[in-house]
Structure 1
Amino acid sequence: MSFPLPLRTHFRDASPLVYGCMALGGDWGGGPLTEADIAQAHAAIEAALSIGVTLFDHADIYRRGKAEAVFGELLKRDAGLRARLRLQSKCGIRFGDDTAPGRFDFSADHIERSVDGILQRLGVEHIEILLLHRPDPLMQPAEVARAFGRLKAAGKVGHLGVSNMHAGQMRWLQSALPEPLVANQLEMSLAKLDFIDAGTTFNDPQAATRPGAMAWAGTLEYAQQHGVQLQAWGSLSQGRFNDPATSAAAQVVHEIAETHATTANAVLLAWLLRHPAGIQPVIGSGNAERIRACGDAVKIQLSREAWYRLYVAARGQALP
């Protein structure tokens, strides 16, 4: 099966799947890592590598830094692991504290300090990709560009991308950058259909019943036109379709899974892979067995009719 690829060859991966590391590192508290945390992370990472995944996605807030820390421990224990993968992390979300509420921060100082923390926890000198996690209303593109320029010149970061940004925000940030944004990570799944509904309900009364879709206007098109790699977080729909008895849509997922002799999760990923935008689903499970089962997604070639059958069943409403 062939997959649409982004225009920039430097961002191509051996697999169209990404492993998201948010489930690694134990609980969200401040306690130390345990050997059980390390063992679970090791099993998950090896499972992802076994199905061809090469890009591993982090964020500085995941498990309050423990997801990166446990990954760093494994990199320290296995000297050859770093050469087998690429690292991506995100910054820009700050938890509430005594001085301020939870907020987003794209100031140069915060971006640069965040990257230093990411590198320290991972135990590496460089990450291939840095994503800005959530749009900061106070963002100044020129300030972001200066911070990224310093990080790149220091050899700390290879490329810059974003997460949860629409086309206008990408365009505004790109206006100040000397090189192209390489990725945008967004919530896209069979349970989160705004990215598709934005096109199918345009100029139709159904748009009024699907207001979330309108925020997407032009985002997929911008990414495809400018070679921005789309990554889908939440791609497994938070387990919404695991039980065929729960909904008509879940029943369709399982029927198609049976047709292809595979799992429901593999069908959910294959549905995203079928889109011509070349979407990379991010697998967020911490269960090694489930991760390995996701590898089937690349073997499934959904017909146009099967793709639409899943879409219409999940949206619960006939197309306009």
Structure 2
Amino acid sequence: MRTIKLGTSDLDVPVVAIGCMRIDSLDQTQAERFVATSLEQGANFFDHADIYGGGRCEEIFADAVHMSSSVRERLILQSKCGIRQGQFDFSREHILSSVDGILQRLKTDYLDILLLHRPDALVEPDEVAAAFDELEQAGKVRHFGVSNQTPNQIELLKKSVKQPIVANQLQLSITNATMITRGFNVNMENAEAVDRDGGILDYCRLHDITVQPWSPFQFGFFEGVFLDNPKFPELNAKIDEVAAKHGVSNTTIAIAWLLRHPAHMQPVTGTMNEQRLIDCCRAADVTLSREDWYGILLATGTKLP
């Protein structure tokens, strides 16, 4: 699979990341087959979080991949921490204990990337910095990033954190694309001009932070997928038209739309269906024309000013 550099790091990563949030819906045999299919596609980047399945997803993955030192060398593992029941927690103690739990469940000595999951209103940047330093010095984490953070939240962390922020995982899809469409509406008096994210897309591009779109097929927060959904007839007709032109599925086109953006994003899949996984990975070999990219965007009802 085609690769990109993750942020400013020297880490080459596949352009499609495999999200493991739902791997606990599979039995052992299914999980083994799913992971094997991912690796066959060249998709060796697996995204986790300590809250997925209450930690079970990491355990299931480690068993499914038959984790060993030789297997570990073939994998790029990312996990997230910072969410507790009823609160967010970026304290030094919580970050350190979370990583120890993640490593134990994944049966590995280190993470390639650790992301802070959702912004903690009580964050103390010095505590985050202390945790990152300890984790890096101990060899437990090699690269660091964030998830769902605005430019100013990242800048606040960078007051104390010396490690580069290599990734920011953000909700983004064809139908959840305000971070893209807001850029069309500078100085306009319409709802699309509202700054909801502090210009996070441009910020990440300026600072070489890789955007990792999560829920790339969802509309709303978790209201459902837009593909083959009767709520989006014009959009699906356009996606199907472009898919036929390239000889691929609509799933492939939905991921290819994100990959076409010059920010060099790394979408995170969520499917546990092997064929859809393969279709997602095929997007690495599809480049949409400017006309098709804009045609799909306009089919969502987006208006150019």
Give the alignment's TM-score, normalised by structure 1.
0.88
- Matching of residue 280 in structure 1 with residue 266 in structure 2: yes
Asked if the contact 1:6–1:278 (Cα under 8 Å) also holds between the matched residues in 2, the reply is: no
The match for 1:161 is: 145
Asked whether the equivalents of residues 244 and 254 of structure 1 are also in contact (C-alpha less than 8 Å), the reply is: no
Letter in 1 for 2:64: L
Partner residue, 1:230: 211
Opposite residue 165 of structure 1, the aligned amino acid is Q
**Pairs within 5 Å for 1:55-74:** 55-74=45-64
Match of 1:181 among 144, 158, 165: 165
Report the residue type matching 1:19 in the other structure.
I
In structure 2, the partner of 1:82 is 72
CA contact (8 A) 2:4 2:15 kept: no
Indicate the larger mover: 125-134 or 37-46. 37-46
Alpha-carbon distance, 1:307 to partner: 0.5
Say whether the 8 Å CA contact 2:36–2:65 is kept in structure 1: no
Q: Between the two proteins, what is the percent identity of the paired residues?
A: 40
CA distance in 2, matches of 1:2, 1:120: 31
Q: Any idea what SS the aligned residue of 2:145 has?
A: strand
How far has the Cα of 1:87 moved from its partner?
A: 0.5
Size of the alignment, in residue pairs? 300
Runs of 4+ in 1 over 3 A off after TM superposition: 1-7, 75-80, 243-246
Report deviation, 1:229. 1.1
- 1:268-307 equivalences under 5 Å are 268-307=254-293
Other structure's SS at 2:80 match: strand
Give the gaps of 5 or more residues in structure 2: 219-223
Question: In the TM superposition, what whole-angstrom CA distance separates every residue of 1:45-104 from its partner, at most 9, and x where no partner exists?
Answer: 122212211211000000111110101213446664322111000000112xxxxxx111
Measured against aligned partners, the alpha-carbon deviations of 1:99-131 in whole angstroms (never above 9, x if no partner) come to xxx111101111111111101111111111100
Aligned residue identity for 1:228: I
1:159 offset after TM fit, Å?
1.2
State the alpha-carbon separation in 1 of the partners of residues 112 and 178 from structure 2: 30
Match of 2:303 in 1: 318
Q: 1:32 corresponds to which residue?
A: none
Note the aligned Cα RMSD (angstroms): 2.0
Once residues 172 and 200 of structure 1 are traced to their aligned partners in structure 2, the CA distance between those partners, rounded to angstroms, is 28
Matched, 1:199 2:183: yes
- The alpha-carbon deviation at position 5 of structure 1 amounts to 4.9
Contact 1:47 1:289 (C-alpha < 8 Å) held by counterparts: no
Cα offset for 1:236? 2.3
SS of alignment partner, residue 232 of structure 1? strand
What's 2:12 paired with?
12
Distance, in Å, in 1 between the alignment partners of 2:89 and 2:215 is 23
User: Residue 225 of structure 1 aligns to which amino acid in structure 2?
Assistant: L
Whole-angstrom distance in 2 between the partners of 1:163 and 1:7: 14
TM superposition shift of 1:253: 0.9
State the alpha-carbon separation in 2 of the partners of residues 3 and 244 from structure 1: 35
CA contact (8 A) 1:134 1:163 kept: yes
Residues 18-46 of structure 1: per-residue CA shift (max 9 Å, x gap): 000001023xxxxxxxxx62222212212
Between the aligned partners of 2:230 and 2:74, the Cα distance in structure 1 is: 37
Alignment partners' CA distance in 1, 2:243 and 2:119: 37
* Alpha-carbon contact 1:40-1:286 (below 8 Å) kept: no
Q: Distance in 2 between matches of 1:224 and 1:272?
A: 14
Aligned pairs (5 A) from 1:70-219: 70-76=60-66, 80-95=70-85, 102-206=86-190, 209-210=191-192, 214-219=195-200
Matched to 2:10, the amino acid is H
Residue identity opposite 2:212 in structure 1 = Q
Q: Is the 8 A contact 1:24 1:286 kept in 2?
A: yes
Q: What amino acid sits opposite 1:63 in the alignment?
A: G
Alpha carbons of structure 1 residues 119 and 284: separation in structure 2 relative to 1, 3 Å: same
